[in-house]
A = this chain, B = another copy of it.
Amino acid sequence: MADLIDRLVELVGTGAVLAGDAIGEEWTHDEALTAEAARPDVVVRPASTEQVGAVVALAAARGVPVTARGSGTGLSGACIPRAGGIVIAFDHMAEILELDLENHVAVVQPGVTLEQLDAATAAHGLVYPVFPGENSASLGGNVATNAGGMRAVKYGVTRHQVLGIEAVLGTGEVVRSGGKFVKSTSGYDLTQLVVGSEGTLAIVTEATLRLYPRPEHTATILAPFASMEAIAAAVPRIVGSGIDPMVLEYIDLVAMAGIEAASGIELGVDPDVRAQTLAYLVVVLEDRSARRLDEDAEELALMLGELGAIDVYGLPPQAGAALITARERVFWAAKANGANDIIDMVVPRASIPTYLARVAELAAESASFIVGCGHAGDGNVHLSIFQGDAEVRDRVLHDLFAAGVAMGGAISGEHGIGSEKKAYLRELEDPAKLALMARIKTAFDPHGILNPGAIWDPEVMA
């Protein structure tokens, strides 16, 4: 090990290697509620792609596990290091290399944060439209987990913005894929394969990201409903109208109470209306024209009335922004309130009510408390599970995932599998597909050193 550290110091410099007691607690965990922290043997902070390649090549030669780490804001344990392994941290590779205003792309290093990119693009009237809710998150981490967020109903998720990457394979080789263009049929799409692979196929050292014009005006509309069925029925009507909402969220009664308590927002909902409400639909519209935005907001309000909303509130700008911010922070509210776990199942959006009915049954059967909110426009259901007994919780989680998969869904919409959901993936996914994925993993990482223990256990791979 001492020898490994010496070699790493040769590769990246003394100041960029942490070992032993110099490795603080902050390197040992992400934000997953259930994951056990683990201390790596060494943390390296490379300054260039060449250094990343050299570190990975060394690790490959020695058979030492390597885990890439951005801001550590993940929710599934994907960047928790393996004991005895190397963490490659990207805080020294955090530069926006290029804002290309002609091609509308940003070229970034993996340590660049969402808020850093947002400030840089805003200055040019542009936006990188992925807002997963934690703006200190790094883009490397976003690419690794295919981060989503509330604006996916309009813009898609990280996958849809990544036009190209530079990445280091498990051999230490550096490859580039894609570029400053939205289309290519010139061999296999390695970019899309690496996006969402949670650091198990390659380590992304540069990403070319798509930018969009940033509309100046937004409006937030809040509509209380008496049932999830009515909300789910409203969604295709709203999307199909062509009004193109930027955000289309549902928030259940309890989650909204938590949001209100945590943020102190006053939504102005009439007490009589509240008494009938089971869940809220929140719609955010955006437009470059204030007049068109007003017209659309009015059209939407009428539509919501016809679709069974108990009432419709156009929130004042400050309250609207506060509600969206509080919704983005709902994970922290759940954590503060003692949630034992959170999940982000995805199902076909029209199946949300059926799925939530099943969730209610599972909660009742297991004496768990399960509440949440989610992306009504794209079927991504975020649930907080309050169940202190780990064994019962494990069974509930299994049943929650199994129910969603049976409806044609997937275990995670945007958080990823990481270390925390891999047992469920193994149980619920088609073995032929898992075997295929394992062969793909080997194609990228023949020595099995890239983030072993994320998505599946190395022994399952073999």
A residues with a Cβ closer than 8 A to B are 100-104, 125-126, 145-146, 148, 152, 156-157, 159-160, 169, 173-190, 192-193, 195-198, 201, 213, 215, 232, 236, 239-242, 288, 292, 346-350, 378-380, 408-417, 421, 425, 429-430, 432-434, 436-437, 439-444, 455
Interface contacts beyond A152-B182, A181-B378, A185-B414: sample of 11 additional A-B pairs, CB < 8 Å, sorted by A: A146-B183, A146-B185, A146-B189, A169-B432, A179-B348, A182-B378, A184-B410, A186-B421, A188-B197, A188-B441, A189-B195
- B-chain residues with CB within 8 Å of residue A184 when the two chains form the complex: 146, 196, 346, 410, 412-413
Would you give the shortest CB distance from A365 to chain B, in whole angstroms?
25
Q: How far is the CB of A244 from chain B (nearest CB, A)?
A: 8
A436→B240 contact, CB < 8 A: no
Q: Contact between A414 and B349 (Cβ–Cβ < 8 Å)? A: no
Inter-chain contacts of A442 with B (CB < 8 A) = 439, 443
Is the pair A186, B425 in contact by a Cβ cutoff of 8 Å?
Answer: yes
In the complex the two chains form, is B183's CB within 8 Å of A193's CB? no
B444 adjacent to A348 (CB under 8 Å): no
Say which residue of B159, B201, B239 sits within 8 Å of A192 (CB atoms): B159
**Does A437 contact B125, Cβ atoms closer than 8 Å?**
no
Pick from A126, A173, A186, A430 the residue with the most CB of B within 10 Å.
Answer: A186
List residues of chain B with CB within 8 A of the CB of A410: 178-179, 181, 184, 186
Say yes or no: A350 contacts B145, CB within 8 Å.
no
A100 to B436, CA, bound (A): 30
- What chain B residues lie within 8 Å of A380 (beta carbons)? 181, 183
Copies of this chain assembled into the complex: 2
Complex alpha-carbon distance, A198 and B198, angstroms: 27
Q: Max chain B CB contacts within 10 Å: which of A156, A157, A346?
A: A346
Task: Report 21 cross-chain contacts, Cβ distance below 8 Å, ordered by A residue.
Answer: A102-B236, A102-B350, A103-B236, A126-B240, A146-B183, A169-B432, A176-B433, A179-B409, A180-B349, A180-B408, A184-B413, A185-B198, A185-B416, A186-B410, A187-B437, A188-B196, A189-B193, A190-B437, A213-B240, A436-B443, A436-B444
Quick check: A411 and B186 within 8 Å, CB to CB? yes
| Interface pair B186/A412, CB less than 8 Å apart | yes
Residues of B within 8 A of A125 (CB): 240
Min Cβ gap A377→B in Å is 9
For the complex, what is the distance from the CA of A190 to the CA of B197, rounded to whole Å? 11
CB distance A349 to B181 under 8 Å?
yes
The answer to whether B440 touches A409 (Cβ under 8 A) is no
- Whole-angstrom CA separation of A175 from B213 in the bound complex: 39
Which residue from chain B places its CB closest to the CB of A197 in the assembled complex?
A: B188
A234 CA to B193 CA in the complex, in Å? 34
Residue of B nearest to A415 (CB): B185
With A241-B213, A443-B440 known as contacts, the answer to whether A185 contacts B430 (CB < 8 A) is: no
Q: Are A185 and B417 within 8 A (Cβ)? A: yes
How far apart sit A417 and B187, CA to CA, in the bound complex (Å)?
Answer: 7
Cβ of A412 to closest chain B Cβ, rounded Å: 5
- Chain B residues within 8 Å of A201, by CB: 188
The 9 A-B residue pairs with the shortest CB-CB distance in the complex, in nearest-first order: A102-B350, A439-B443, A192-B192, A180-B348, A184-B410, A242-B288, A213-B242, A186-B410, A185-B416
